[in-house]
């Protein structure tokens, strides 16, 4: 078998890489969705998972910014009082 035939006959890893990219992008999108719902704990875990697994993606900067805003809102958003009064 010639080298060219061997290279062309190998199974491509492109589908596996594409699936991984989609899964990572869904982590980022889920994190942003949780942020918009003011579910900051879930948002932070999704965004952190995205940053940890996808260090070479262009969207890492966006995820880091969103994670920072999540931490800020967690820290400074007033919690409703137990008696219902603000």
- The pLDDT tens digits for 38-53 are 998 999 998 888 888 8
Quote the percentage of the chain above a pLDDT of 90.
Answer: 10
Mean pLDDT calculated for residue range 13-34: 69
pTM for this predicted structure? 0.62
For residues 70, 24, 57 and 65, what is the CA-based torsion angle, rounded to 10 degrees? Answer: 0
Mean pLDDT calculated for residue range 54-81: 82
Let me know: does 42 contact 34? Beta carbons within 8 Å: yes
Let me know: does 72 contact 45? Beta carbons within 8 Å: no
Total domain count, the chain: 1
At 18, the pLDDT band (50, 70, 90 cuts) reads: low
Q: How far apart (Å, rounded) are the C-alpha atoms in residues 46 and 59? A: 14
Classify residue 69: in a domain, yes or no: yes
Classify residue 7: in a domain, yes or no: no
Domain membership of residue 35 as a residue range: 19-73
Helix and strand element counts for the chain (H, E): 4, 0
62, pLDDT greater than 80: yes
């Amino acid at each position: 078998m010639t080298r060219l035939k061997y290279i062309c006959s190998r199974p491509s890893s492109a589908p596996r890489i594409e699936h991984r990219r989609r899964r990572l992008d869904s982590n980022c999108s889920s994190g942003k969705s949780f942020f918009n719902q003011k579910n900051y704990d879930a948002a932070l875990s999704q965004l952190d998972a995205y940053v940890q697994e996808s260090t070479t993606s262009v969207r890492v900067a966006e995820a880091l910014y969103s994670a920072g805003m999540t931490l800020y809102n967690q820290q400074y958003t007033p919690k409703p009082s137990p008696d219902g009064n603000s």
